[in-house]
Structure 1
Amino acid sequence: MQIKTEIARIKDQDCKLYTLINDNGMEVSCLNYGGIITKILAPDRNNNFENVVLGFKDYEDYTSNPAFFGALIGRIAGRIQESSFEIDGKSYTVPENDGPNHLHGGTPGFHKAIWEAEPFEGSDEVGVILTHTSPDGENGYPGNLKMNVTYTLNNNNEFSITYEGTSDQKTALTVTNHSYFNLSGNLKSDILDHNVTLNANKFVELDSALIPTGNILPVEGTVFDFQSGRKIKDGVNSDYVQNLNASNGYDHYFLFDNQQENNVVVVDEHSGRTLKVKTDQPGMVMYTSNNLPEQLQLQEGPSKRYLGVCLETQASPASLHHQGFPSVLLDKDEKYYTKTTFAFGVK
């Protein structure tokens, strides 16, 4: 196990790139700028190590990063309807950055913060602890919020993200990572033939602006039923209004059933790579890069639609406006703690 540290020049500042390496040769690289995961090298069935996430060729491009490649997202992951919410009868307004709505914490959000970083090494795991304080009132959110996010890689080829936070006022908080996974390796193909199994029997209905309507729908009988596994292209090619609202694909919150060991399993038959996701979060947004801008300069070539799938484990910001959704409220001095593990394997 080892960690390599390099200087990455971003926004005229010396940021740091940390590369976590386990004894099998798997690597996870991340920046302290935005907590951005820039590269994950994982083996295929022939033990060829290739990159399985989307990342820019030039680190400076992360200063704009319209697609949020690899970034930590907060304080609120997802969209807040009409850029406002109430906590205990008091109204809060957050910046509009997605039409009239608020997306992924605004700017400066967690994805553009320079986090303090402390690497660590153990006998069977390596990692880095990222620390950031968001002041009271930043982007309209109440409370001084202290966050710790820990990235850990072990010798079982498991990459874990642990999120911890406390606020000195009651606030709204749900944090995720916005990595785009592509198990083909070095972006050799899109993700339309990736087979996904989700332990979820319900999903959240969206309107044409991708805002939850307040309805929670059963997956049965629709292309949102991933309980026995299905390919992503089923939803891309579907004429179901929910897929059309998401620009031909998925950008929806699935509520986990939590009856199985893994909440999510993704398989690429060609490379043999598998990705199993286990989380204590109540649900996940699966985004299939339907609106990914084209011609962004990635490490392996230009970006295009359907080049990656995001597995954004989180609570639901719809809970700020509707009943029956997993809450994003955090009480004063309450400890926010959640963990998601991405286990890479082959079949």
Structure 2
Amino acid sequence: MAHKLPARGRPAAEVLADLKTFSSADPDYRHGRLWSLAYYQDEDYAAFLGEAYSAFAGANGLNPTVFKSLKRFENEIIEATAALLHGTPEVCGVVTSGGTESCLLAVKTYRDRARQVRGVSRPEMILPVTAHVAWFKASEYFDVKVRLLPLDKHLRADVAQLERLINRNTVMILGSAPEYPHGTIDPIEAFAELALKHGVPLHVDACVGGFILPFMAMNGRKLPLWDYRVPGVTSISADLHKYGYAAKGPRPSPTATWTSSSTRCSSTRTGPVASSPRRRCWAPGPGAPTRRRGPPCSTWASPATAIWRDAPSRPSTGCEKASGRFPGCT
């Protein structure tokens, strides 16, 4: 490898100057020249998130029973998210390291539940053809067969063809709010009726819509029901680093919430039990440092939790700024 560690340490100013050159070939996301991959407001807000992150960047947050602030961050993020999604007090959840992990957790949870409760040994899940690629990754990780649901003429998952795909091996059904390719919301209410009829969990992938659809509705936009107001919806994933405006990059910000009846926790481990469905302990990504409390702190400080929670009856600063660019948020 050409790049090696320097023989001696370098001045901090020199290192920071080098870092600025790294982005020379990156797209200009600060001026609206990039869709989907970055959700930028302004430099003041970016500095605010950085300050929140740095306040806990050096603290060890591996064990929330010792560093209680870590658990407080997560609890309050989940409480605010569950309330926004019209969850009842029984709704619980976790802050994950990314939208992909949220999808993986749902598949693993429902595979394990079907194995324990119904003795399913050849698990299958029903995905619309527009499902995010993370769901197919989860299929490979956890050996859950995918049965694909085609679209109707409105570019939504075709509920008329859903019931024929359900069988005794079905461990979960997926709907999106919205799906990525066309921005349409799948018919979640109709999905939920069939899910309840067959006793199959229904997950809603709201990674894009979770933190903007509620505010579109608050502003008078008529939307189909898609969240916990729909009987039969058992879990939802939503990305705070999109329209929640939490920091992107190596910070855990998406959330995955469940109704408590959809999951059960058990352990045969001797000694202290640290129960968690997440794949890693606040690890922000492959090869990145772990055990930092900066990520959940900066997520807690984002509008989606600290600001929106205090003003639930009106759109957040972020939604107000997006109103001219995102259809429906007016």
Using the size of structure 1 for normalisation, the TM-score is 0.27
Determine which structure has the larger helix proportion and give its number: 2
The structure with the largest alpha-carbon Rg is: 2
Using the size of structure 2 for normalisation, the TM-score is 0.28
Q: Which has the higher contact order (CA 8 A, sep 6+)?
A: 2
